[in-house]
Structure 1
Amino acid sequence: MKLHKTLIALALAGAAFSAHAHKPWLLPSSTLVEGKEPWVTVDAAISEGLFDIDHVPLKLDGIRITGPDGAAVTPENASTGKLRSTFDVKMAKSGTYRIALVSQTAFASWKANGETKRWRGLESALAQEVPANAEDLKVSRTNGRLETFVSANEPDTAVFKPSGSGLELVPVTHPNDMRAGEKATWRFLLDGKPAANLPFSLIPGGVRYRGTLGEIRQSTDAKGEITFTIPAAGMYLVSSSWPAAAPAQPGQPPQMPARRATYAATVEVLPQ
């Protein structure tokens, strides 16, 4: 289980990714359903093609489901196969549910007997794995968040109360109430404060059938907000990271900031 949690955390640490990186994602069967006690099924995987089942499953140890009343909801019928994991969510109460994987990871490098040592894993294991008095010790920490939202009957906004830690999406336009051709407004926060000038990426599913990525890139304003029009219906992955990556220097290893935050979420855009 410890290894599984570490793999989840490392996947989340890279959740804001390049076009060709492996992508972790949560994909609900639907984001807006009606009924007395509706259900959704969620697939969870890491893949090379967005929403394609082509690499490895996401382990489900760290899944947190929060109901519209703030109570924790237990996933049902959970299973992990060779290429994907899956679980069901029973929505006993009307409103919006948050399904999330949240992690805190660390990367450390230091010198020991003239050799460079490196370690990467959960921040909670840092003190046990890395000597506190190590020579030339450098530590980089990453807050990662991967999530999706589903609503039973009528969407509400209770689950969007920010935690104040890492990168978070606090939507002005509800992510379960977006339609093609209409404007939507999102607000990004970093540690509870507006994330100004934050670049983010929006990629629609179905890349393998289009042959082109179809990526939309935007940046937030001084309030951490962005208003945009989504051109077509479908499932999308929104992702972002802070701070921006430092330019690579010839002959030098990539520079790791002392702290990094990543965010990714699956959202559905409905037809008009």
Structure 2
Amino acid sequence: MKLSSARFSAKASALAFAALMPLAAHADRLWLLPSATVLSGNDTWVSVDAAVSDDLFIAGHAPLRLDGLVITAPDGSTGKAENAVTGRFRSVFDLQLTQDGTWRITVDNQMIGAQYKLDGEKKRWRGSVEAFAKEVPANAQDLEVMENDMRVETFVAHGKPSTTALKPTGHGLELVPISSPVDLVSGSTGNFQLMLDGKPAANVKVAVVPGGTRYRDDIKETTLTTDQDGKFNVKFADAGMYWLGAQVRDNHTQLKQAKMRRAAYAATLEVLPQ
């Protein structure tokens, strides 16, 4: 989709803005929020909210669009979202857990942002790598291009947790759970590894924020740093929903015109009481 400086779609502006936000206490965050993360027996349906907001897990800013939604079933196959709809502040869809094990729910978007001059007029553009060559004029002047790679995830399970769906794709910034992401309880420590393009992401800052930020003055953000193997541990003192986020900047771009890539990752994890 071509976007002029005068007409940005809600999808492009919300995703581009949020994907570039630093790990600041009051930045808008992208999140997926499942109605439950652990199910058993005949209970097989979950509903998932998807939004961009300042107050964690309260939809009040912009919806997270579902164009890049990928659902990975426990056997590695692709699951199907049902009843998907996007409203003013959030997107919503249902998912039936037709297999036992851990499911991975991901919104994965790669976007190119460009600004340039054409006949003396300033232009801005957002779109895909494929659309760039077709929609950005070859004679554009003062061209500045940045690649944005954003991944937002959550995890749910029916029955006993499994690991097949947790395998990384090898692209962008990804979380590899060492301990099960659907088997966290208060007082426990979650063990994770951050990967960038399939390799350990060393010395990357990771922010961890418990939900309910609207109802407290202290955001209670914890900042951790991955080790040389991309690994880090999170101590979950209390039960509840947690947001985890990280981002990196590098020059590993797909387009030769792009000088920088920003890769961002965010996940929602549920910690149950002991």
TM-score interval, normalised by the smaller of the two chains: 0.7 to 0.9
Contact 1:96 1:151 in 2 (8 A): yes
TM-score normalised to structure 1 length: 0.87
What one-letter code is carried by the residue in structure 2 that aligns with 1:213?
A: I
**Aligned residue for 2:244?**
238
Contact 1:15 1:262 in 2 (8 A): no
| Number of residue equivalences | 261
Contact 1:148 1:266 in 2 (8 A): yes
In 2, Cα distance between equivalents of 1:58 and 1:178: 26
Going from structure 1 to structure 2, the CA distance change for 1:84 and 1:109 (only over 3 Å counts) comes to: closer
Gaps of 5+ in 1: 245-255
Contact 1:95 1:151 in 2 (8 A): yes
**Aligned residue for 1:228?**
234
TM-score normalised to structure 2 length: 0.86
Offset at residue 143 of structure 1 (A): 1.0
Q: Percent identity?
A: 46
- What SS does the aligned partner of 2:16 have? helix
Contact 1:104 1:122 in 2 (8 A): yes
Contact 2:14 2:62 in 1 (8 A): no
30-39 vs 213-222, which moves further: 30-39
Contact 1:45 1:53 in 2 (8 A): yes
Counterpart among 163, 170, 176 of residue 176 in structure 2 = 170
Offset at residue 29 of structure 1 (A): 0.8
Contact 1:11 1:24 in 2 (8 A): no
**Aligned residue for 1:248?**
none
1:157 aligns with 2:163: yes
In 2, Cα distance between equivalents of 1:16 and 1:159: 29
**Aligned residue for 1:33?**
39
What one-letter code is carried by the residue in structure 2 that aligns with 1:188?
A: L
In 2, Cα distance between equivalents of 1:185 and 1:84: 30
In 2, Cα distance between equivalents of 1:257 and 1:214: 35
In 2, Cα distance between equivalents of 1:231 and 1:72: 34
In 1, Cα distance between equivalents of 2:174 and 2:102: 16
**Aligned residue for 2:266?**
264
Offset at residue 96 of structure 1 (A): 0.8
Going from structure 1 to structure 2, the CA distance change for 1:11 and 1:87 (only over 3 Å counts) comes to: farther
**Aligned residue for 1:126?**
132
* CA offsets 1:103-125 (integer angstroms, 9 cap, x no match): 11112233434555432333332
* CA offsets 1:129-156 (integer angstroms, 9 cap, x no match): 2123433423211111011110111111
- What SS does the aligned partner of 1:72 have? coil
212-221 vs 35-44, which moves further: 35-44
**Aligned residue for 1:249?**
none
In 2, Cα distance between equivalents of 1:91 and 1:16: 34
1:145 aligns with 2:147: no
**Aligned residue for 2:221?**
215
- What SS does the aligned partner of 2:185 have? coil
Offset at residue 43 of structure 1 (A): 1.1
Contact 1:37 1:90 in 2 (8 A): no
What one-letter code is carried by the residue in structure 1 that aligns with 2:214?
A: R
Offset at residue 270 of structure 1 (A): 1.4
